[in-house]
Amino acid sequence: MRTINLDVESTRLSLVDFLQEGFRSAGLNRAVVGLSGGIDSTVSCFLAVAALGRENVLGIRMPYKTSSRESLDHAQLVVDQLKIESLTIEITPMVEPLVSKFPQMNALRMGNIMARQRMIVLYDQSAATEALVVGTGNKTEIILGYTTLYGDSACALNPIGDLYKTQVRQMAAHLGVPDIILQKPPSADLWQGQTDEGEMGVTYEMVDKLLFILVEEGKNIEDCLKAGFSRDFIRSVFSRAKRNRFKRALPPIAQVGGRGIDEAIFDQEI
């Protein structure tokens, strides 16, 4: 019977192999990871170091003026424990010129701008160091669309994108992530007091249990109701997943009579 509890060591080895093969295919051996001080980016960074060696991983902290000191400190814990190279690049002077043009801008728009600016920084550093950007989004966030398109969702490859948030925590404990990061409430740190679960209105534990039944076990809505989930809760999760489906796919390309791009064409030997 499938369970949400991971065989953590087997999974760790699989994810390390995934990263090594991905970098080998790209002909590169250096990684760039954005470090938020949260559990997801920490686990991705630990896995990158396991795959490539600490000398080949660059961790980057990218605070905004409202970022908490705690987030910076926790990211530094990761840098210190893994003994990796790091940079701290303040994004406030990059974000403010756009934000200041729209005084009535809400928190969501500001958060999206910050997330996309951080990805600009990461991709610039990937170009500067001939590295690949390693993703930090988990499966729960991907399904629910709790991510910024072309912001934190952008990456060259993602080792934790098939792990639910609950499973990321299991992996973090196995990898030896600092307890203070392991126990903290998940937050994108987009504004003061912001937490993921507070913003979504649900807990990751509840959502993961429901998603596991639906996605991994292939059960239907009636099975979920029998498992004790309310119809309103199921409806809210379905609504969020369906509303954000576009974030999980490449932009559709209009076909005007030509053939689509078949990548296998370019695998031919010349």
- Residues 81-121 have pLDDT tens digits of 999 999 999 999 999 999 999 999 998 999 999 999 999 99
For residue 105, CA distances in Å to 56, 98, 111, 143, 257 come to 39, 10, 10, 27, 42
Whether residue 18 is contained in a domain is answered as yes
pLDDT at position 197, please?
A: 63
The whole domain housing 37 covers 8-248
Whether residue 257 is contained in a domain is answered as no
Average pLDDT by stretches of 10, the chain with 270 residues: 84 98 97 97 98 98 93 96 98 97 94 97 98 97 94 97 96 97 76 61 88 94 93 92 93 81 75
Q: Domain count for the chain, please give it.
A: 1
- Domain with residue 100: its CATH number is 3.40.50.620
pLDDT at position 1, please?
A: 47
Whether residue 255 is contained in a domain is answered as no
Whether residue 263 is contained in a domain is answered as no
Whether residue 269 is contained in a domain is answered as no
Whether residue 209 is contained in a domain is answered as yes
Of 117, 263, 104, 252, which is closest to residue 190 (Cα–Cα)?
117
